Amino acid sequence: MNERSFILGFIMHNKHDLILRAAEKIIAAGGIQGLSMQQVANEAGVAAGTIYRYFKDKNELILELRRDVLSQVANSIFADHDQGSLEQRFKRIWMKMHDYGKQRSPTNLSYEQYAHLPESNTEEIRTIEMQLFEPLQRLFQEGVEQGVFQPLHPRALYSISMEPSMAMARAIRRGLIEYNAKDITLACDICWRAILIPTPPTN
């Protein structure tokens, strides 16, 4: 790759990211229904026609936003996912998910509005989720194979043990309740124990 190609590639990548961040900011502030490509262009500081060089329509832009935020979440919570015991790994991921979810960032505020749209629940998105969150699926599979976790599908184990982390984070972000560090640590431990196979009592 020559220098000119490198510079052009950098500029294109930068504009692509500017457009995503602009759309994210608009959705976070005013909701997804009023989102228009012209608004995105104004916020990103680019010509409206430029957006269509990267995205054919608003739906494609929203799908790309979802892919982008899934990558951000995965990179944040799985940085050191394979270090320590099964319990240490589980609790580290749980706490990282909670810390990420309670941030009042445009990413979090906008994601809730488009994550459950029918058009964003595609086979492509599900495949991306499986790939990005593979470390968590592997953690659950290891626990089941070792006879530590209840013999449930990884998605069921996730719903029982990890979703409370995000639910509590959303409550904090929305100002519905304040949890102290002790509450969060206790909740994490309860979620861990919820999927364990009970140890038979010793005589």
Least confident range from 9-13, 42-46, 133-137, 185-189: namely: 9-13
Residues 49 and 95 in one domain: no
pLDDT at 81: 81
Determine the Cα–Cα distance for residues 37 and 47; give it in Å rounded to an integer. 10
Query: Can you give the CATH number for the domain in which 4 is found?
Result: 1.10.10.60
Same domain membership, residue 32 and residue 128: no
pLDDT of residue 116: 61
Looking at residue 123, what is its pLDDT? 76
Number of domains into which the chain is organized: 2
* Structural domain harbouring 160: 79-203
Among 12-16, 18-22, 41-45, the range scoring the smallest mean pLDDT is: 12-16
What are residue 79's phi and psi, to 5 degrees? -55, -40
Mean predicted confidence (pLDDT) in 3-9: 38
One domain, residues 50 and 114: no
The answer, yes or no, to whether residue 3 has pLDDT greater than 50, is no
Residues 105 and 202 in one domain: yes
pLDDT value of position 118? 60
Q: Which has more confidence, 138 or 202?
A: 138
Q: Are residues 88 and 149 in the same domain?
A: yes
**pLDDT of 158 over the 60 cut:** yes
Q: What is the CATH number of the domain that holds 201?
A: 1.10.357.10
> Averaged over 133-144, what is the pLDDT?
94
Is 203 or 69 the better-scoring residue by pLDDT?
Answer: 69
* Average per-residue pLDDT for the chain: 84
Q: Quick check: is 63 in a domain?
A: no
Mean pLDDT of 8-31: 74
Q: From CA 193, how far away is CA 200, in angstroms rounded?
A: 14
Could you give the CA distance from residue 28 to residue 37 in angstroms, rounded to a whole number?
15
CA neighbor of 162 nearest in space, from 130, 131, 125, 137: 137
Q: What is the pLDDT of residues 86-135, one digit of tens each?
A: 999 999 999 999 998 888 777 776 666 666 666 556 777 778 888 888 99
Over the stretch 52-96, which tens digit does the pLDDT of each residue have? 889 988 888 888 888 888 888 888 888 888 889 999 999 999 999
**Is the pLDDT higher at 3 or at 107?**
107
Closest CA to 78 of 25, 133, 115: 133
